[in-house]
Structure 1
Amino acid sequence: MLPDKFKERMKQFLGEEEYNAFITAFEEDRRYYALRANTLKCDVSFIKNLPYITGNIPWEETGFYYAENATPGKHPYHEAGLYYIQEPSAMAPVSYLNVQPGDKILDLCAAPGGKTTQIACKLKGQGLLVTNEINKDRAKILSLNIERLGIANAMVLNETPQHLSEVFEGYFDKILIDAPCSGEGMFRKNDNAADEWSVDNVLACAKRQAEILDLASKMLLPGGRIVYSTCTFSKEENEDNIYAFVNRHPDFKEVDRRRLWPHKDHGEGHFLCVLERDGELVNDGNRYIPGGKNVPVKKDVLKPFYAFCDETLKKGALEKLMESKNIIMFGKQLFLAPTFMPSVNGLKVLRPGLHLGEIIKDRFEPNHALALFLRPEDVNASFDLPSDSADIKAYLNGQTLRITEDIKKGWCLVTTDGYSIGWGKASGGMIKNHYPKGLRINY
């Protein structure tokens, strides 16, 4: 049931004729389901040709609608990070961010990670993505999605916008603000959103969004771009906020704007606006690194890691992995970070780059994230499990695999249809399962 006050406001906003079409859309069940190809791991054509794909998303070339009765979230390809399931209209804002490989980008309100992973695909492994979520539990989910999709150039933070604006003043080329909002565009998808709606909440959200916009503006370079988006219809949270922001910041101008409507577009509700700052964007590679550079780990400490690489990776794979990157250490945990990644000092960091693994005494234990980043051609030993087999279900359930193939003893990359999905350790006709316990699936 839609709140009466909400309906009154929308009728006044849209006019009677369009309002009737708008309300009729809410009387229908949600009809459109979508996913987006992870081009860091697979070709768009591979996803496009999956049997349950029904069409392309008009505003995102790597996005596709899928049949309502399909369950791509339960398929091994999902665990291998080949795609991200995302509401269709939510794919629009990043398409307007004009991401270029090599950019330094901030996703300020990033959980659960749909737009962050979309940005990462467009960066093509180059540049830097700082992705932030103020809620710690949601930040953990964000971090897991970055891991699943094999993203190596992202720094995951659990910070306030206020603190970020102090650390990163004048640093980013592009900023995405998918602002927390009253969620009117999710009424058809989520019944609780309608139950929690009120005019007071709309106004409170608008006030909070204005503060976030002001803080984000401090972090953008001259000539840079902000895309502001919400999944709500209210004018206060959208056009009114943008109008007031531009008045407060005369060095910014609005260059584009779009609304997606459930009665017009094949998706739920969304608003986006493109803001650009006066000036010329210069990306010369010499800009400062907030907080100073991360201190690389001493080579003698890394002996177990290099021993693992000698045994597990093919010749040249380590050099490719380490190109323009530094290994940094959190306790016993090793991460691979771009050389220009901001210092972890003074920040609440969940993931400073690619999680390589852990040094335990004199040995190295690889992390699941490293498996999802690597490809079969990078390793000496891999073992493939067809995505429609009982074996892949057993692996994802944490079971030991019995094999007849002659596989070198030690770490091996487990794949499904040629795509990496986790680690195993081969010995005596068996592969001991190293799929993380917290991710295991009971089929």
Structure 2
Amino acid sequence: MTMKTVESVQRKYEELAALDKKHFMHPTSSFKQQQERGPGFIFTEGKGIYLKDIRGKQVIDGLSSLWNVNIGHGREELGQAAMEQMKKLAFSSAFATNSHEPVIKLAEKVAQMTPGDLTMTFFTSGGSDANDTAFKTARYYWQLKGKSEKKKIISRQKSYHGVSVGASSATGLPAFRDFPSLAPDFYYVDSTIESLKELIAREGAETIAAFISEPVQGSGGVNLPPPNYFKEIREICDQNEILFIADEVITGFGRTGKNFGMENFDAVPDMMVIAKGISSGYAPLGGMVISEKLKNELIELTDGVYMHGYTYSGHPMCCAVALKNLEIIEEENLIENVLNMGAELQKGFKWLEQRHEEIGNIRGIGLLGAVEILKDKETNTRFSEPVSLKVVDEALKHGLLGRAIIYEGQDTLAFAPPFCINKQEVETIISIIDKSLTEVKMAGLK
């Protein structure tokens, strides 16, 4: 770029940054940092696994933005699908049994993809309101069955289920519950079967409506379940008349190398929560999928109105975009690429472990992976200051956007790149992590 162009671009950035600081309240951000530093990147375009900001800097989107841009950035087919639908029918309400073709076809497609007898979907705008819908529906179901005392929801520590009042209350990461007057009747267990059994015994199965879990915890650190965990969870829920809810917001639609994360663990829930990957982030969309059994019981138990619905439940344009997104995932065999490139990512992590004694606790499934940074791997001791934050900052300088997870004393680097990534691009990610960690270590670790 010429000097004049550089100056023009910088001026444009500064103008937007000033407006950002003045008018835009950022999600999950520091108020003070926003005012002191302004926006980090102002992204203007994306292509494949890459994002570019207004000043021309290109970075690899190592986390698919928020675990959601599964097919990658810049797919014009999705924009075309949105335009075609908006020209025909931009919006119509789905209340009072009204419907439209995109939502019907998407509900059918989801039913074809989900495991077991999960066949009916209630659509929302995202994961938080989908989880709230699941909690309300679970409690409503037990009320209809004359067991209104069954209202407690159990979730796992280090779980993440969203930020609406109900979803925040279910989230097992205390930092997300640091708000006054969250919803009552939410309980937390660690990731052992014994912990759940003890809580059920203490609280009484007759008071518990549902147990919810991510197949693989995402924001909590990319934590896989213990062996046979969900098979045992399924049995315990059946024995105690507790509904089993799977939060597939991150793991759904191919992220783990299967359509849904629970398919890796041979367990079928009563309810499934979906979002993110259903549209690859091109349109805001989520949903709650319920089993055929639950659907039939709800039909039999009431003649009244299900008094729950969002203005944008089953939005026509969002559904059209989701259908095209799922078509691309199938036609381009992207889930197969998830398996292949996931293996390359894990191989890269192991290479890093050989080069850096601080790398440990390598884990992952499909294109969902993480490593921890440890001072002493034998004792699982961490450094006094989170090293992952420094590595992520350094990696940005080299063109990689990753995520540091430091909740609950962790020091974890997490990655979940788009499904379209290739072997060379995986190797580039690993190379940048290697270089960044080396530079952080040279500056000194505490």
The normalised TM-score by structure 1 is 0.29
Higher relative contact order, structure no. (Cα contacts within 8 Å, ≥ 6 residues apart): 2
The normalised TM-score by structure 2 is 0.29
Structure whose residues are more often strand by fraction: 1
Structure whose residues are more often helix by fraction: 2
